[in-house]
Structure 1
């Protein structure tokens, strides 16, 4: 009998399992194993410090971000007073699962099937990977951390079957040495409708490898062809492909994360991926942390209503950032003309500094109100076409 069964062993589920185990609860961590989520792998310094990530997990430190417009305008943004850390999800996720196990979580490998309830007894039913047999884990509570198309969410939480998402696809390639078009210390973000008509493409270095990919929420887009075009433009078409991966990325947090009884969601299952950027690792781990807090409170008080704490705690800290990023995506990702203006806006030094200060610290920066005012006015001028697009 477990206090909590965590379904899903990505950053969110592994973090929830570790937090609960360190709090003295009996925890089972159920993971499918063998699946590597497509992900650029970027993490901010705040995640590294808050979650005690060792240097051995950081495969690259990025000091520049390059924005590329539909007309191939390039804006290089230096990352001052910090860096963007890059991790390889193949190893990073397993590190987090192993750390949860070291804290006392019991690991199980298999595929979640359903939740069975009989009277006061609740069981998580899964198909064991090694034997292929159905097995059961008795538990008081369940944390669903099983991704953007969460089966736990679909079965248990209102709205869990209607999460909007984009499909992300990327190819992990052997990284070359520095070239005219590739820099192992620079992330390239491509805002071009020819690559993605409603999101963006990317080239993210991972040390000896690199992630090259794109995302879209539209049907009919050939993801592999767009990625091939992106590799060709970046001079990476001849690099050996190590693996190919695709998966959905949710676009906004769900309105409710619990079923009011014994289930609470975390990470992609709850929709916590930042709009506009698609950043998910940091918010997934925070989601796992607040889900663990809510579950622990529920176990202590016996009040199922305490499961709602997960969403309340998360949104109290991050709602405004998500709102601003969502507005930016709605405003600028609608057409190539808008994307061109967005990259032009990125020439502004105040935009550059405030963007990465917010990224590294994970909150809107309020220290320079005049800079915020200037950015707001420039943003309005671009959206209303009162200014011409900057030419470089």
Structure 2
């Protein structure tokens, strides 16, 4: 009998399993293994500190972010007093799973099949990866951290099959050498030819680079759009090392628990930031909060304590998500709006507050006048009272 079985060994699931194991709970971590999620790999300083990420996992340290408009105009934003770390998910996720196992979590390699309840006992069924046989383990609670199309969420929670998402696709290529390539700069490309409703990215990963994009429109050819981005970035001739695609959710589910014995975390709960698509930090926070909610339920015997995960997450990050969702709705709808968004990024107040919020994962309240100025400039750009800066 396990106290908790965690389904999914990405950042959310591995974090939940590690935290529960360190707290002395009997926990199993079920993961299919071998899958690499498409991801730019950016992690802020707060994640590195809060989750003790060793420096050797950082394949690059970004000190400049370049915003690129549909006309090719760009704004370079220096990251003051620090850097944004870059990780490669093919190494980052296995590290987190190994750390959970070292803390005492039992590793299970296989595919989730379902949950059965009989005689007061909950059994989680899975197909063992090595033997192909169906197996079952008894558990008191289940944490579903199995991605945007979570099988746990679809089976156990109302609305778990209706989460909105964009499809993301990227290609990992060998990094070029010579002039024109900056291994400490990430590019974010706002161009309808790359994505009509999201953005494209070029992120250095040391010896390699991640080039990708996302879109919620089914008619978009992700591979063709990425090829366009590679050509525009001068990376068309770089060796392609691997290709990956997956859905990325853009709105937290209305409910993360079934009121009984299941709670969600990470992409399964929909906790990827709108506008930016940032997910690793929020996944790990969600995993930690799911672990805390599970521990509280185990201690109290009250299933309603599973609600703590969503309640605490939204209390800390809900306002940021609402602001980012409004930004995406306002600026990602046309190339004219995208042009104006990049123009707005010229503003020093916008730059500082944006990166302070990203680095610390909270809205900055230290400069109220700056907030008022940004609100006024934002309105002016959206209404066309000011022209988008060119050149």
Please tell me the TM-score bracket, short chain as reference.
over 0.9
SS at match of 2:202: strand
**Cα deviation, residue 141, structure 1:** 0.2
The aligned counterpart of 1:389 is 388
The aligned counterpart of 1:195 is 194
The aligned counterpart of 2:327 is 328
The aligned counterpart of 1:166 is 166
CA distances 1:139-182 after superposition (whole Å, capped 9, x unpaired): 000000000000000000111000000000000001112432x3
Does the CA contact (< 8 Å) of 1:177 and 1:184 recur in 2? no
Does the CA contact (< 8 Å) of 1:38 and 1:170 recur in 2? yes
Q: TM-score scaled by structure 2?
A: 0.99
CA distances 1:261-281 after superposition (whole Å, capped 9, x unpaired): 000000000000000000000
Q: TM-score scaled by structure 1?
A: 0.99
- How many angstroms apart in 1 are the aligned matches of 2:52 and 2:226? 34
SS at match of 2:307: helix
Does the CA contact (< 8 Å) of 1:318 and 1:363 recur in 2? yes
SS at match of 2:28: strand
CA distances 1:33-63 after superposition (whole Å, capped 9, x unpaired): 0000000000000000000010011110000
Pairs within 5 Å for 1:1-392: 1-180=1-180, 182-392=181-391
- How many angstroms apart in 1 are the aligned matches of 2:158 and 2:173? 40
Does the CA contact (< 8 Å) of 1:123 and 1:137 recur in 2? yes
- How many angstroms apart in 1 are the aligned matches of 2:112 and 2:54? 31
Unaligned runs of 5+ in 1: none
**Cα deviation, residue 183, structure 1:** 1.3
- How many angstroms apart in 1 are the aligned matches of 2:264 and 2:215? 24
- How many angstroms apart in 1 are the aligned matches of 2:89 and 2:129? 21
Does the CA contact (< 8 Å) of 1:178 and 1:184 recur in 2? no
- How many angstroms apart in 2 are the aligned matches of 1:332 and 1:326? 10
| Equivalenced residues, count | 391
- How many angstroms apart in 1 are the aligned matches of 2:53 and 2:272? 20
Which segments of structure 1 move beyond 2 Å, counting only runs of 4 or more? none
**Cα deviation, residue 192, structure 1:** 0.2
SS at match of 2:356: helix
CA-atom RMSD in angstroms: 0.6
**Cα deviation, residue 219, structure 1:** 1.2
